[in-house]
Amino acid sequence: MDFEDEEMCPLFLLLMCMYQYYTATQENRRWWVRPMFQERNQKGAFVNLFHHMKTNDHEMFFKYTRMLPDQFDHLLNLLKPKLLKRSRREFLSPELRLAMVLKYLAHGGSFQSLSWEFRVGHSTVSKVILETCIWDVLQPIYLITPTTNEWKNIAERFLDGWNVPHTIGAIDGKHVHIQCPINSGSEYYNYKGHFSIVLLAYCDADYKFTWVDIGAYGSEHDASIFRRSEMGRMLETGTIALPLPKRLPNSNIEMPYFFVGDEAFPLKTYIMRPYPGRYLNLQKSVFNYRLSRARRIIENSFGILASRWRVYRSPLLCSVKTTEAIVKATTCLHNYLRTVSATTHTPPTLVDSVMEGKDVVDGDWREITRNDTDLTPVGRLGSNIAPNIVMQLRDKLADYLMDIGSVPWQLTVVNRGQI
């Protein structure tokens, strides 16, 4: 190098300054690894509390991780190829990583408290939660779009359990409360007065999610959230393999298969929503009551999600990217545990149940999540205006539920105002 070159001298001086700063910084470090973190393998929660519960106290282990030891091991085997790190330095084991993530999802709190508990760095906690690829592994297995025959099976279970024909799922959306993202302006600031991203979800008759759309801005107009979601686009363009329209049971009325939603959603051939207004005639009131029974499925799915994964108890204090990873992880874990151990994960008293008189009894999740702040309903996701042909379809379904498809208790419930 020719140091007399006028162009090279400033570059050389800059490199020398950078080197001297780096050397001084390294020499002035108090330690490479904080002493309390060096004791991770002796005093950390993983080697003490976690392993003790896994070996000796399965009831407490379930409360700690929301799953039993054999389910944890099965999940670990699925995720291990993605969690193994190849490094010359000591790295966190896949089991520790998974234990840390499940504890955070099950109980919430801050990354700092998790850092102290497991004796790992604060930045490491954030990185582990972001990198634990629960969605990447579980979504292709436990959260996949049903086939045409599977949609039909879902419709049969809705008819058997909730007495509404041709229902292939329930749909709802929630705002996930987050802290204000850096340099985001008002993008995530919603009409409820806080920052959020939107979770839009569909579920089947077994409280399992069949589709989720995560990450829309909280400030986005609610109608556009559904319209711009992938599932919304596929339904509107007919590119999803829904069953063809079919006659309703014991009738000549041909009806498409549809999802049920509340007043927030638009009335479509593939979405049935209640009649608007307070002072409705008997037929419309019965229709709204019957639809509300089926719609309880998605309410209960979100209720199970929020009551089991208590990270939703308060606002998520992390980046939007990490928040999306958390929401993805919990929806996949919800389906995973509903599949491998439905009764353990979701005791009968946790969800709404139907008594002999066909009255619906509220599930425990409603009381458990009563004071939670992190999952709140979205606003309107579509207008009240629908084409005449769609309104006629709803009227035909209302006629059917009042006549051929009626159930013995519907008039009793409607007349006493319990819709």
Domain ranges of the chain: 35-132, 140-415
- Smallest Cα–Cα separation from 72: which of 259, 394, 333, 301? 333
333-336-339 Cα angle (round to 5): 150
**Is 251 buried (19+), middle (13-18) or exposed (0-12) by CB count in 10 A?**
middle
CA 328 – CA 72 distance, rounded (Å): 18
Note the pLDDT of residue 19. Answer: 61
pLDDT score recorded for residue 3: 46
Task: With beta carbons less than 8 A apart as the criterion, state whether 328 and 214 touch.
Answer: yes
Strand partners for 197: 176, 217
Low-confidence stretches of the chain (pLDDT < 70) are 1-13, 17, 19-33, 35, 37, 86-90, 221-223, 355-358, 379-385, 417-419
Beta bridge partners of 316: 178
Pull the structure tokens for residue 8. Answer: 């090279």
Please state, in angstroms and rounded to a whole number, the distance separating the CA atoms of residues 274 and 163: 16
- Can you give the pLDDT at residue 134? 92
